[in-house]
Amino acid sequence: MASIDLDKMLEKIKNTQWTLSDVDWDAPGAEMITEEQWPKLKAFMADLMWIEHVGARAFAAMAKKAPNDTLKEIYTYFHAEEQRHANAEMALMKRWGMLEDNELPEPNNNLRLVIEWLDRFADDQPVYVLGTVVPMLEIALDGALCKFLLDTVKDPVCHQAFDLINADEARHLGVGFSVMEMQGHGKTYMQLVRMAAQLMDPRLILGIASYFPLLNKMRDNIVEMGLPEEKLYEAMKKFEKIGGRTEDGRRNPWFQIIKQHGRVVIDRRNRFYHKPIDALVKVADLIPRKAFPAVPSWVREITYRPTA
Amino acid sequence: MTTATASKSNGRKRAPARKQDAQATKEPTAAIEHPTATVLIIGAGFAGLGAAIRLQQQGVRDIVILERAEEVGGTWRDNQYPGAACDIPSNLYSFSFAQNPDWSRSFSGSREILAYIQGMVKQFNLRQYIRFGKNVSDMAWDDQSGTWKATTDAGEVFSGRTAVMAQGPLSNASFPAISGLEDYQGHKIHSARWDHDYDFKGKKVAVIGTGASAIQIIPELVKEARHLTVFQRTPAWVMPRPDFETPDWNKSLFRKLPMSQSALRKALYLIHESMALAVIWNSPLTRLAERIGRWHLRTQVKDRWLRRQLMPDYRIGCKRILVSNDYYPALQQPNCKLITWPIDRLSAQGVRTVEGVEHQFDCIVFATGFDVSNAGTPFPVRGLEGRLLGETWQRGAQAYKSINVAGYPNLFFTFGPNSGPGHNSALVYMESQIDYIVQSVRAIQSLGLKALDVREQVQADYNRDIQQRLAKTNWNSGCKSWYLTKDGFNATMYPGFATQYANQMKELVLKDYRLIKAD
């Protein structure tokens, strides 16, 4: 993917906005969800919604650190758009009778840890760390999950909503990969030194400690839902393929790290990685709800209501 | 850091309608040409009236002031929204030659400031000079007669040997460039054109903007509206405001011993001068000011996410610094909500933001500021050989000492290019400008000049120096603000202390001008 003109992209973003009220959430089709699908879909949608929501928070952190005004504004829009996706997914849950009035689905413990980390440390991270991790999350989790959802669910309103969401996501990925290439456009040695310094940051280590188990947790959830594990891996390979298309992209050390990590995640035989990370997932599940501090107030910004 | 608007008063009386609006329906009358005055002043706000007072004190009484409204007061007449007040202490935001011992508070509200202005009109008998309801639509220099001719939208022509542009930099309300502005069917109010008849009780209200006017309006509206939603694009640095009621003994002291008020004024002046070191240039004091701002936010806002939303990400001073003790608490009221999502558009019922929600309201208050004439003037101004000021300033407004523009003889600007203060009272700068105008008018009279026109080279040299100095200031440190044009040119602020500005205005150096004798 060649580098894009960020000014034109910003213009395009502004010209392609939509709101929840553009979708008729009461249109026929909700009955197409089968009884068998319903409980699994409820858990699945809650995870999906939370992934969008934490993605939104990551974009908010990136906006603070963006290297120029255009990218700052783009990330500000992406922050809101990811929130819109979470809102739309919540509206689908409401449509399918999965939420009581004003009910907010509970995030799983791994997501809860990620929320906590984002709230405390994300704003202090260099833009390129999140700038590489977020496209990976979007392409792998979001991409695989959305595709699975659309393959499984026949409700036309769901398809209409995801047409809108996916059009946004395509722009998010376009900008994401372009920014990764921008980061790769420099002296490799200096980049490596800078990256090594960033890796020593304990806040980043904590972030890694919540990101790695999240991927494994999501893999387990997806398998439980009946999605072949390979579909997730195919999506993760896409990250490697698109991110490594240009020399600049390949030269970005963060891309190399995330790519290598993706390969390890895909390789189930790598017990040195999976044993401890799976153990971390189990440990996270054991954390009692009360042990977490109160959720940050941005978490409560989410809504399924088209109007306020 | 000087202009805002009228009193804490919550006064609900409708401000006098602007003549500009009224004129729109008037049929043009046949051209009436009035006799030539010595000084023609456009605008009866602080600057126009101050100039008239000083001219009068120097024996120049042949003055005509053209005012588009039916009342004096300028920005303080127009801005009568609830909570409107000045963010410079009143003892400094007043003329040194017309001190008021009776200010009720340290930071007076707009009603009280307007009353002060009206008091000056009475005290100095200025009403004789003012022609109300005269909305100037064109100004032109007539080289043959050596006069400025101001044509009103009713077709009347007023002339003067000299002219003072005192129409004010913040006099035209500006609506934001949001798509769908016309689609919104609810009630719309601009902060500078307050609708005093609208009852906010029980209403869902939005305020768009979080600048100087908004942070004064919000604490008042939150008390009245059922729900208030505040839309913020960029958070401002908000500093604590040392506002208190003036005790009676203080007023008596000022009345009995005017020197004590002058001493306080001097002290306030020096305190504000020292702020330049933090506000204008990047110095350790800038860091200190930012610490105070952060401390203020931390102590007033408990929620981490709300604090993050309200924390500016640019250097203090780059944009206008705001002062308020009740803005942050107002935002945390149960019936108030801050929204920082980008606005996509206005719809028939409210505001659509990018997170996909349509926020619906009974009324939207636009606290979105003013059209700042940093690329031109509100009406065409034609100088020598018909040159248009808007074109002369196309690439950024420039003037000599902020007051004269080459090719526009005998024309004087108050708050012209690069005269804006970021740290001190605007009236301190205005007094220097007024005294310079008085000197110039006296020189034109005593030397029998037809034209006093600043030399182009002198003006260019002056501006080269100004722009070099501006490059080192916080205003030019990378944020977007109304101080800068779209291209980032700073034609608004003066890069120095008020004392430096006053010093440069002390003397009229005649060799800097082309002097053309009257025939």
What are B84's two structure tokens? 């409107």
Number of domain units in chain A:
1
Instruction: Please state, in angstroms and rounded to a whole number, the distance separating the CA atoms of residues B270 and A228.
Output: 74
Residues A254-284 have pLDDT tens digits of 788 788 887 887 777 888 888 888 888 888 8
Residues A32-49 have pLDDT tens digits of 998 888 888 888 888 888
Would residue A66 count as lying in a domain? yes
Q: Which CATH class is domain B187-237+281-366?
A: alpha beta
Comparing C-alpha atoms, which of A133, A105, A135, A136 is closest to residue A117? A133
What are A284's two structure tokens? 């996270």
CB neighbours (10 Å) of residue A59?
A: 24
Instruction: Please state, in angstroms and rounded to a whole number, the distance separating the CA atoms of residues B479 and B319.
Output: 7
Q: Are B308 and B225 spatial neighbours (Cβ–Cβ below 8 Å)?
A: no
B187-237+281-366 matches B31-172+372-517 in CATH topology: yes
Quote the minimal CA–CA distance from A69 to chain B in Å.
9
Would residue A25 count as lying in a domain? no
What are phi and psi for residue B514, nearest 5 degrees?
A: -85, 125
Which DSSP symbol is given to B477?
Answer: S
- The C-alpha torsion from B492 through B497 and B502 to B508, rounded to 10°, is -70
CATH number of this structure's domain B31-172+372-517? 3.50.50.60
Q: Chain A within 8 Å of B480 (Cβ-Cβ)?
A: yes
Instruction: Please state, in angstroms and rounded to a whole number, the distance separating the CA atoms of residues B313 and B326.
Output: 22
For B229, residues 6+ apart whose C-beta sits below 8 A from its C-beta are B204, B205, B206, B207, B336, B337, B339, B351, B359, B361
The b-or-e profile of B178-196 (16+ CB within 10 A means b, else e) is beeeeebebebbbbbbbee
Measure the CA angle with vertex B344, ends B338 and B350; round to 5°. 65
Quote the minimal CA–CA distance from B99 to chain A in Å.
46
Q: Are B317 and B152 spatial neighbours (Cβ–Cβ below 8 Å)?
A: no
pLDDT reported for residue B171: 64
Which DSSP symbol is given to A141?
Answer: I
Q: Are B48 and B164 spatial neighbours (Cβ–Cβ below 8 Å)?
A: yes
Would residue A190 count as lying in a domain? yes
Comparing C-alpha atoms, which of A197, A293, A215, A290 is closest to residue A258? A215
Q: Are A74 and A10 spatial neighbours (Cβ–Cβ below 8 Å)?
A: yes
Quote the minimal CA–CA distance from A64 to chain B in Å.
7
Residues of chain A with pLDDT under 50: 1-2
Domain of A50, in residue numbers: 6-15+35-301
Instruction: Please state, in angstroms and rounded to a whole number, the distance separating the CA atoms of residues A9 and A175.
Output: 8
Q: Chain A within 8 Å of B178 (Cβ-Cβ)?
A: no
Q: Chain B within 8 Å of A70 (Cβ-Cβ)?
A: no
Q: Are A59 and A78 spatial neighbours (Cβ–Cβ below 8 Å)?
A: yes
Provide, as residue numbers in chain A, all residues whose Cβ is less than 8 Å from the Cβ of B359: 307-308
Instruction: Please state, in angstroms and rounded to a whole number, the distance separating the CA atoms of residues A133 and A183.
Output: 13
> B355–A83: do the CB atoms touch at under 8 Å?
yes
Test the A interface: residue of B307, B354, B480 with most A CBs within 10 Å: B354
Collapsing DSSP states into helix, strand and coil, what is residue B360?
A: strand
Q: Chain A within 8 Å of B342 (Cβ-Cβ)?
A: yes
pLDDT reported for residue B132: 97
Tell me, what CATH number does A80's domain have? 1.10.620
Question: Structural domain boundaries of chain B?
Answer: 31-172+372-517, 187-237+281-366
Would residue A256 count as lying in a domain? yes
Comparing C-alpha atoms, which of A302, A265, A294, A267 is closest to residue A281? A265
Q: What is the pLDDT along chain B (519 residues), one digit of tens a residue?
A: 334 333 333 333 333 334 444 444 444 455 788 889 999 999 999 999 999 999 999 999 999 999 999 999 998 998 889 999 998 999 999 999 999 999 999 999 999 999 999 999 999 999 999 999 999 999 999 999 999 999 999 999 999 999 999 988 766 677 888 899 999 999 999 998 899 999 999 999 999 999 999 999 999 999 999 999 999 999 999 999 989 999 999 999 999 999 999 999 999 999 999 999 999 999 999 999 999 999 999 999 999 999 999 999 999 988 899 999 999 999 999 999 999 999 999 999 999 999 999 999 999 999 987 766 544 678 999 999 999 998 998 888 999 999 999 999 999 999 999 998 889 999 999 999 999 999 999 999 999 999 999 999 999 999 999 999 999 998 888 788 888 887 888 988 999 999 999 999 999 999 999 999 887
Q: Are A4 and A174 spatial neighbours (Cβ–Cβ below 8 Å)?
A: yes
Alpha helices in B93-213 (DSSP H): 110-123
For A54, A60, A176, B6, B92, the CA distances from A127, given in Å and listed in that order, are 16, 11, 11, 44, 45
pLDDT reported for residue B325: 95
Would residue A307 count as lying in a domain? no
Q: Which of left, alpha, beta for A165 (phi over 0: left; psi -120 to 50: alpha)?
A: alpha
Would residue A24 count as lying in a domain? no
